[in-house]
Amino acid sequence: MVSEYERFVETNVSDVLGALGDPSRRAIVEVLVTGELSVGQLAERMPISRPAVSQHLKVLKQAGVVVDRAVGTQRVYAVDPAALALARAYLTDFWQQALESFGRAARERSAEEGQS
């Protein structure tokens, strides 16, 4: 049975990976890992329009990948390290399972070839 926490983590990982599935959103995150920026500052560094940057930030914020805060009349955005840590942990676990599965298959094949 899946616990409430496991369901929460699965949902969040799915949201984070889904949000990062778009190349423009990944590019925004890659820029934001260097520090906080406003929408205007981000738009200056991106090959997409300011409204498009805003839409991508909305998706990233809903997925929990970025957070924002008011600075005067602007909002500045930053990457939420917890979201990236969650995605990293998921991918590390996924990779570990894949390596273990590959190792088992290789050992089984080796054993089968040794019996021939």
Domain positions in the chain:
4-115
Taking only the tens place, the pLDDT of each residue in 32-61 is: 999 999 999 999 999 999 999 999 999 999
Torsion-angle region of residue 72: left (phi > 0), alpha (psi -120 to 50) or beta? left
Could you tell me where the DSSP H helices lie in 1-116? 4-19, 23-32, 39-45, 50-62, 81-115
Beta partners for residue 70, in sequence order: 75
Q: Tell me the CATH number of domain 4-115, given options 1.10.10.10, 3.40.190.10, 3.40.630.10, 3.40.50.720.
A: 1.10.10.10
% of the chain at pLDDT higher than 90: 60
pTM for the complete prediction? 0.76
